[in-house]
Amino acid sequence: MRFCRTRRSDSTLFPRKKVSVIGAGHVGATVAFLTAQKELADVVLVDVVPGVPQGKALDMYEASPIQGYDVAFHGSNDYKDTANSDLVIVTAGVARKPGMSRDDLLSTNVKIVAEVVREVVRHSPDCILLVVTNPLDAMVYTAKQVSGFPRERVIGMAGVLDSARMRSFIAEALDVSIEDVSAFVLGGHGDTMVPMVRYATVAGIPVSDMLPPERLQEIVQRTAQGGAEIVQLLKTGSAFYAPGAAVVEMAEAILKDKKRILPCAAYLEGEYGVDGYFMGVPCKLGGAGMECVIELDLTTEEQAALERSLDSVRRLVRQVDALEHF
């Protein structure tokens, strides 16, 4: 019996999308696995530790007959294997430990992200960058400065995760299906984030009609502290399942050109009165990346909260600009 064997990489009739995930820790591995389960693209997993990305990539590939996905995996310590990626997801960096804020990671992670982005751009100059490393607003700013990419191709993951946390807390409080809850968060990815209670709904019904103000305020506070709550419970690391799922929701919108409206850290050029900073805002995500910023009419109170969040982002950016290695 003869069998036609064609190398996957030789096929040009039906080219596969390629996603490279930089950082094979908990978040990166979760992203790689979920990307494969959705069959969004072939996956390259890169890490500086020899054997780790190779072993995790092989493990995920060996799960494919059981899970029923058909994608190629490749683990590597060399950025040349990321060449010609459509989407590069940056998760590399030091994770939070109990007692640390996202901001405490800044000096270490700026250096890591800058080095990663230089290598990625050298091998995939046309890719879209999706940054996950904390402190998010400063790291995605670093990625844009180093890459020189237009704002459409440098995006930060924060709002999808923060919104998911808010949605889950609302569903828990009301004992309703998570599928019926809609909510989103504006501002920086930190304690000053701005959960938009006015836009939160359950099956189209405003949450403010279903929960008392004091309960809603508890949910707002818990949303802002959602990452810290998990860090305190884990003791030795930070969240990775929800962040990984949030990244893949954004990746799917980009790779499938779905034109989804999702809250993302976008580089603002006058929107919301902000110029030259990344902030969490509703965006249209599609094949070109961040294709459009959706501007909302904010109340005086919401605008003031957004300004406070922007002050926090400005402080982080000043620290980034002051670092010698940047």
Which residues, at least 6 apart from 184, have a Cβ–Cβ distance to it below 8 Å?
Answer: 159, 163, 166, 196, 199, 263, 282
Spatial contact of 27 and 91, defined as CB atoms under 8 Å apart: yes
| Residue 74 appears among annotated catalytic residues | no
289-293 and 275-286 strand pairing:
antiparallel
* Domains of the chain, residue spans: 14-156, 159-321
To the question of pTM greater than 0.85 for the whole model, the response is yes
| pLDDT value of position 323 | 83
Give residue 324's pLDDT: 62
Secondary-structure class of domain 159-321 per CATH? alpha beta
Q: Are 121 and 115 in contact (CB under 8 A)?
A: no
Kindly state the DSSP code that residue 295 receives in the 8-state scheme.
Answer: P
Q: How far apart are CA 93 and CA 70, in angstroms?
A: 29
What does the pLDDT read at residue 99? 66
Q: How far apart are CA 263 and CA 57, in angstroms?
A: 30
Phi, psi angle pair for 292, to nearest 5°: -170, 140
pLDDT at position 13 is: 44
Let me know if the fold of 14-156 is the same as that of 159-321.
Answer: no
* Sheet containing 205-206: order of strands: 181-182, 201-202, 205-206
How many residues are listed for the chain in this entry?
A: 326
Q: Cβ distance 219 to 166 under 8 Å?
A: yes
**Is 82 strand, coil or helix?**
helix
Gap between the Cα atoms of 19 and 73, Å rounded: 10
Q: Does residue 246 contact residue 160 with C-beta atoms inside 8 Å? A: yes
Q: Is 222 exposed, middle or buried (0-12, 13-18, 19+ CB in 10 A)?
A: middle
Please name the residue that has the structure tokens 């990419």.
149
Beta bridge partners of 45: 21, 75
Q: Where are the alpha helices (DSSP H) in the chain?
A: 26-37, 52-67, 106-123, 136-147, 159-174, 213-224, 226-234, 241-255, 300-322
CA atoms of 237 and 240, how far apart (whole Å):
9
pLDDT along the chain (326 residues), means of 10: 59 74 97 98 97 98 97 97 98 77 78 96 98 94 97 96 96 97 90 91 97 96 92 91 97 98 96 95 97 95 92 92 74
Sign of the CA dihedral running 165, 162, 242, 233: negative
Which residues touch 315 (CB under 8 Å, ≥6 apart)?
none
φ, ψ at 167 (rounded to 5°): -60, -40
Q: Which of 26, 123, 189, 325 is catalytic?
A: 189
β-bridge partners, 284 = 261, 292
Instruction: Report helix, strand or coil for 240.
Output: coil
Kindly give the pairing relationship between strand 42-46 and strand 73-76: parallel
Q: State the pLDDT at residue 10.
A: 46
Fold for 14-156, please state it.
Rossmann fold (3.40.50)
